Amino acid sequence: MISSSKVSFIRILLILCLSSAVAAAKTLEGRLHFTDGLAFNLTSRIVLNHGEIATYSRADGSFALYNVPPGIHQLDVFSSVYHFPQIKIQLLEDESADPKCLEYLYPGAKKQFAKYPLVLTAMAKYEYFEPRRGFSIFSLLKNPMFLMMGVSVILMFWMPKMMEGLDPEEREQMKKQMELQKDPSKMLGQLFSGMTGTEEIQSKKKM
């Protein structure tokens, strides 16, 4: 059996280990900065190491993560409105040394040094809806219906002038063609009658 003196010694060692770990742990502080100048009216979640330690920003954008042990940590900001850069933080065991911070503006971007206390600037604002397009004369000109109407109006004014310069026979033929275009059944009838007429002429020539 373990004597009481050994048990007390083990307890003292555990207390010393826990006290040293708590003493080595630090508090990470920072602030969220918004470039659009709007008043801060929402809370964003600040997460360390994919959820090991997490907190929410205060009304003024400041935040604090308590009891962070020495080592290398990854800090992410989750917001439903803004996109913030990712921070890699190295905490040293020396209490007087400031954390070393590297900032990644977006995935794949080059790292750059960040000052401490952290100031995380919103890089972009999420847009969940497509903005409504205003009236544009160019979009109207690209509309097929508008183009057809424009061509018909031009022909309406241009055809009479073109008809005046034609011979009477050509004018009559063009009038007939325009009347046939208005009535597709007449056009098809004339087409089939012309085909039968040519077939009869060819048969007579063979005889």
**DSSP conformational letter for 166:** S
Residue type, 43: T
How many whole angstroms separate alpha carbon 80 and alpha carbon 56?
13
pTM: 0.55
Q: Dihedral through CA 185, CA 191, CA 192, CA 193, nearest 10?
A: 100
pLDDT at 1 over 50: no
- The domains located in the chain, with CATH, are 24-125 (2.60.40), 138-194 (no CATH)
Whether residue 66 contacts residue 27, with contact meaning beta carbons closer than 8 Å, is answered with yes
Helix, strand, coil percent content, the chain, rounded in steps of 5: 40, 25, 35
Q: Round the CA-based radius of gyration of the chain to a whole number and report it.
A: 42
Residue 32 phi/psi, 5-degree rounding, is -95, 135
pLDDT at 23 over 50: no
Q: What pLDDT, on the 0 to 100 scale, is given for residue 45?
A: 93
Q: What pLDDT, on the 0 to 100 scale, is given for residue 134?
A: 74
Q: What pLDDT, on the 0 to 100 scale, is given for residue 46?
A: 95
Mean pLDDT, all residues of the chain: 76
CB atoms near residue 137 (< 10 Å): 7
How many whole angstroms separate alpha carbon 5 and alpha carbon 9?
6
